[in-house]
Every structure is written in C-alpha cells, then in structure tokens.
Amino acid sequence: MTATTQSNKSSFVPMAIVAILFFILGFATWLNGSLMPYLKQILQLTPFQASLILFSFYIAVTFTALPSAWVIRKVGYKNGMALGMAVMMLAGLMFIPAAQTQVFALFLLAQLVMGTGQTLLQTAVNPYVVRLGPEESAAARVSVMGILNKGAGVIAPLVFSALILDSFKDRVGTDLTQTQITEMANGLIFPYLGMAIFIGVLAFAVKKSPLPELEQDEVDETSAGTQAEKGQMKAALAKPNLALGVVALFVYVAVEVIAGDTIGTFALSLGIESYGVMTSYTMVCMVLGYTLGIICIPRFISQPKALMISAVLGVALTLAIVLGDNESYLLANALLVPFGGAQLPDTLLFIALLGLANAIVWPAVWPLALSGLGKLTSTGSALLIMGIAGGAFGPVFWGLASSAESIGMQGGYLVMLPCYLFILFYAVKGYKMKSWS
C-alpha cells in the first residue's frame, strides 16, 4: 500500500463527515424559503414582517462571525463544530414554544439562534475542506461541498412540504380560523423536534469521531495585536478591487436570498398551493449554474466574463419579473408540463432562473477581490465573508418595497436591479481598479 493510498484512506472519513455537515448547513439555510411563506400565512404577516424571518437568520453572521473565530481559537475546530450544532439543536427546540404560542418574536429569536449556530459551524468546518487533503485539489473539494450545500437547498423544501404543507394545501388563499391557525402552527412541532434530535445526535457523533484537530495560527490578542489588525483592515480596504468586491458580495448575497427565499411567499400571494417547494426550483437552477461554472471556468470562459454574463442575465430576469404577466404560462408549458411538471406562472419561473444567474458570482468575485493582496489576503477574506450580511438586508428592502401598495410584491423585485448593475460594474471595471485615484 502506497503512502498516497494510506493518505486518501485516512482523509476519507473526515471528508465524509465534513460533507454531511455541509449538507446540514444547506438544509437549515434553505429551509427558510418554505418557512417564510408558511409563517406569513399562519401569523398573517405583511411582506415586511415576513422578511424579518430572513433578516433575523442572516444578521447573525454580522454579529457572530468574529466571536465565532474567537470561540474556535479557544475550543478548537472539532469542538467548535459540535458546539455549533448544539446551538442549532437549541434553535430547533425553540421553535416548539414559538409554534405553541404563535408569538412572532419567538420565531425571530429561534431564527437568530439558528443563524448563530450556523455561523459557528461554518467557521469551524470550512478550513477542513482546504486542509484535509492535497492543496492542489482543494478547489475540487470546495466545488463538491458547494454542490452538496446547494443540493440540500433542493431537498429541504420538498421535505418541509411533505412533512408539513401537504395537509394544509386546501387553505391557500382562504381566511383561516383560529382553530386552523393553531393546527397549522402545531404542524411545525414534531418536524423541528426531529431535526433538533438529529442535529444533537450528529453533534455527539462529531465530538466522538476520528476528526483530526487542525493546527491553529498564532493570534496576537493584545492591544497591540488589535491595533495591528485594524491597520491591516484599513490597508486592505485601500485596495479598490477588494473594497468593491466586498460590496459586490453584499449585493450578491442579497439577491441570492431574495431569489431563493421569497419565491415561496410570492407564490403564496398568487394562490399557488405548492408554494412550499418553490425554493427547490431556484436551487435546481443554482446547482445547474454551479456545475456549468466548474466545467467552463476558466477552460472556455474567463472569470470576469462569466461574472459579466451573470450580471446581465440578472438584470434581464429582474425586468422580466417586474414587467411579466402572472397569467402567462409559456415557460411552464414549454419546459415543465410536457414532462409532468407543474403549470406555474412565467414570473415565478423567472425568479427561479435567477439561481442560474447567481450561481457563479460568489466563486468569481473571490479571486478577483483577493488579487494582489499578498499578506493582506487573510484580512481580505474576513472582510469578504462579512458580505454575507447582504442576506439580512436584501429581503428587508424587498419587503419594504412589496408593502407599498403602488408596486406590490411583484414590483418589489425591482430592488434587485441596482444590485445586478453593481455586479456588472465590478465585472467590467471594479475588479481592475488598483487605486482610488
């Protein structure tokens, strides 16, 4: 047996565990696309109030990203994973009193705790993908984990619908009695209890698993070290390609979450009974785009050009959504119905196709934003990660716009237009800028 074979065998189990964790991360994240319209129906929320369900989940990244890194330094990567899942388990259990009392604030608190656990788990698990295996094949491992994460986004809404929504499809578009509301709310209890138990068992398994502990870089936590870190951040932000890249990722995550997590709420407003599975359509398009990116970049197309095409497609689809006819079924009749699929309005499928436009923005922006940073690369990476906070604010802007009677929920998608235009600017000029002068 060769050393390479032994190395591959020794890294298989840890990578399999990490793959499961990436799937869990994706599942818990994209479950929001089904949860949001379901709670909107039960609690009779406005579009803005419904958007707070996503805001409370994604805002956790902003407040807990740096504390999570501190926790990992104290307890280690392996214990950090188990702790992150323990927090997610707690969040799952918090949905039980929230469902029983039907208090909106408790749902928001449960979402905030779930986002906190997710952030801690992500902070711990991501380094394993790069460091458990040869450096030259790290990109391939990252791609596989990305597909697993997005693939979970296809499955999560289907599971949610099968376990919860199918029993209440006949109530779409009707005024619910208090008895019906209570029945629908209680439908959340056992699925979230089951998810909490599963995540708890997985946390215990990870704690006892043969996952190797990764070596940590020495970090200076003194006052001098903090000042040096602030100096590095200032120096990094002096690079236009990075600073503009952070903004590009912020607006990208905003439109990604809008496309993936509000499509069900829009479908509910159109009276679509299968609103709970609509996120799956967006995620299928995203997995397709992700796969095309792996195949085509840079073999057939450069990263900047791929980013440019994504932005143009995003602009075109945004206009198609806002100006489209909700009574037109041309796309569904051509692409879905002949194969036994559902007959859905064109506007809904345009939102789903945004997954195709969004898929390769994240992997395309990162190398362009970090180009030429040298010793500032790690600081630049931390700043780019904070762009995930766009997932908190994008849906809120959509919710505020949708609440305006003048444009409604369909017109609310116009908030994506400046986001895609900025991504287009970055693809054409922003990434090339090396100084602000």
CATH number at residue 198: 1.20.1250.20
pLDDT tens profile 123-175 = 788 777 766 666 555 656 766 777 888 888 889 999 988 888 777 777 787 78
- In this prediction, residue 215 carries a pLDDT of 63
Residues 6+ apart with CB under 8 A from 67: none
Of 7 and 281, the structure prediction assigns the larger pLDDT to 281
pLDDT higher than threshold 60 for residue 377: yes
pLDDT tens profile 105-120 = 999 999 999 999 998 8
C-alpha count within 13 angstroms, C-beta hemisphere, residue 14: 23
Instruction: Report the percent of the chain where pLDDT is more than 70.
Output: 90
Residue 404 lies in a domain: yes
The size of the chain, in residues, is 437
Contact 157, 280 (CB under 8 A): yes
Of 175 and 378, the structure prediction assigns the larger pLDDT to 175
Check whether residue 231 and residue 112 sit in a common domain.
no
pLDDT higher than threshold 50 for residue 7: no
Q: Percentage helix, strand, coil, to 5, in the chain?
A: 80, 0, 20
Which of 148, 179, 208 finishes a domain?
A: 208
Check whether residue 242 and residue 144 sit in a common domain.
no
Range with the poorest average pLDDT among 32-46, 187-201, 229-243, 283-297 = 229-243
Check whether residue 336 and residue 419 sit in a common domain.
yes
Contact 151, 287 (CB under 8 A): yes
pLDDT tens profile 400-436 = 999 877 788 999 999 999 999 999 999 998 888 888 7
- C-alpha 114/C-alpha 61 separation (Å) is 11
Residue 151 lies in a domain: yes
Residue 41 sits in which domain range? Answer: 9-208
How many distinct helices (H) and strands (E) make up the chain?
20, 0
Check whether residue 24 and residue 76 sit in a common domain.
yes
- In this prediction, residue 223 carries a pLDDT of 52
Contact 92, 192 (CB under 8 A): yes
- In this prediction, residue 5 carries a pLDDT of 43
Check whether residue 168 and residue 289 sit in a common domain.
no
Check whether residue 169 and residue 298 sit in a common domain.
no
Q: What is the CA radius of gyration of the chain?
A: 22
Contact 36, 50 (CB under 8 A): yes
Which of 208, 242, 261 finishes a domain?
A: 208
- C-alpha 186/C-alpha 17 separation (Å) is 33
Residue 215 lies in a domain: no
Check whether residue 114 and residue 87 sit in a common domain.
yes
What pTM value is reported for the model? Answer: 0.83
Residue 42 lies in a domain: yes
Q: What is the mean pLDDT of residues 276-299?
A: 85
| Eight-state DSSP code of residue 180 | H
Check whether residue 89 and residue 203 sit in a common domain.
yes
